[in-house]
Amino acid sequence: MGTRRKAREIALQVLFQLDVSQVDVYEGIDLFWDNFDAPESARDFSTHLIVGTIDNLDGIDNLIKSCSENWSLDRMSKVDRNILRLAVYELVFCRDIPPKVALNEAIDLGKEYGSENSGSFINGILDALYAKLRRDDNDYSIG
């Protein structure tokens, strides 16, 4: 497994934990590292993804809501919701990551960690969101 794939899995696990427990982001990260190990490069990238997602959570959630017809964030499974949050953070803020990579990684995470329908559910929302971002003249601003 590649370092970035491992970092995304870690980020998903910590984001899920933060969603469930409502602890501080750094407390959640520390708690994870107190119990699990990973290469330093995976630690660095996962921390970047986690902190960036949490720091921009309101804007990320608003983008997801704008493309998830008939699905409020509260109705989504916590796994799917946090995969979407992570993917939107990558699409909007990680310009060094090709959009297709962010989309494919999110779909793969959904297939592995979500329900049998998670991959297609995540794919549908992210496809709509990515089309919206491109349609808006690549204005990836959240706010």
> In three state form, how does the secondary structure of 71-128 look?
CCCCCCCHHHHHHHHHHHHHHHHCCCCCHHHHHHHHHHHHHHHCCCCHHHHHHHHHHH
- Residue 117 belongs to a domain: yes
**CATH at 14:** 1.10.940.10
- Residue 140 belongs to a domain: no
- Residue 143 belongs to a domain: no
Local mean pLDDT, 10-residue blocks, the chain (143 residues)? 93 97 94 94 96 98 92 95 98 95 97 96 96 74 53
- Residue 142 belongs to a domain: no
Question: What pLDDT, on a 0 to 100 scale, did the predictor assign at position 22?
Answer: 83
Q: Tokens for 110, please give them.
A: 């959904």
The whole-model pTM stands at: 0.93
